[in-house]
Structures are given as structure tokens and as C-alpha cells.
């Protein structure tokens, strides 16, 4: 039971690496050097293995959509450090906890 979090973490790492590699291949096919959400969406759509992500990965907006209209799409900031939802202010990032993880107690579960 103690190794379950480690194994789950490693599985997530492999999933992200594989999905990123597939998305990068789409980026290169389109002769670009920046990975975009449409590349991730295409990578998810090319294999049945990623079917569970179909509803999670944002869809690519239609080519005829008016520019500047809020589409619910995520765009990368110029710095590339974070993404913000179009038309909305970025959510504040909470400060890191100063309490050691071992000192925190799990939330109480109502009976």
C-alpha cells in the first residue's frame, strides 16, 4: 500500500511524456516550433488509449469564429509560465504552505 502513490506518480509521468511526444509530432508535422492545444487535442484523438481525455482536453475553436470573442480557450502568456482563461483575470496563486506535510491532519469525514 505504501508504494501505490509512487507507482501512480510514475504512471502519470509516463502518460504525460507519451502524450507530449505525440502532440510534438503534430507540431512538427505542421512545421511549427511551439506546442499548441490543437496538437494535444489531435494527439488525444489519434489513439483509443486516450479516449478518456476526449471530454477533458479543450476543443480547438472553429476557423470561422470571431477573433476576440471569449471561447473558453486557454492561451499561454508571453512568458510561458502560466495560462489564463481568455477574458478573465488569472486566479491568484496561494502562497506555499509553511507547515510540513507530515504535520497536517486529514480533513474530518462526517459520519
- Mean pLDDT, 10 residues at a time, the chain of 111 residues: 92 96 96 94 92 86 53 38 42 52 53 55
pTM over 0.95? The answer is: no
Question: Which residue reads 480533513 in cell numbers?
Answer: 107
CATH topology of domain 23-60: Histone, subunit A (1.10.20)
Alpha-carbon 25 to chain mean position = 18
Question: Which residue reads 479516449 in cell numbers?
Answer: 51
Sequence ranges of the domains in the chain: 23-60
Amino acid at each position: 500500500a505504501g508504494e501505490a502513490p509512487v507507482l501512480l506518480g510514475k504512471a502519470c509521468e509516463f502518460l504525460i511524456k507519451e502524450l507530449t511526444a505525440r502532440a510534438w509530432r503534430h507540431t512538427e508535422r505542421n512545421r511549427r516550433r511551439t506546442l499548441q492545444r490543437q496538437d494535444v487535442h489531435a494527439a488525444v484523438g489519434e489513439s483509443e488509449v486516450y479516449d478518456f481525455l476526449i471530454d477533458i482536453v479543450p476543443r480547438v475553436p472553429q476557423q470561422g469564429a470571431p477573433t476576440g470573442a471569449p471561447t473558453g480557450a486557454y492561451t499561454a502568456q508571453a512568458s510561458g509560465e502560466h495560462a489564463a482563461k481568455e477574458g478573465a483575470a488569472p486566479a491568484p496563486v496561494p502562497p506555499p504552505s509553511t507547515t510540513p506535510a507530515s504535520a497536517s491532519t486529514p480533513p474530518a469525514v462526517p459520519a
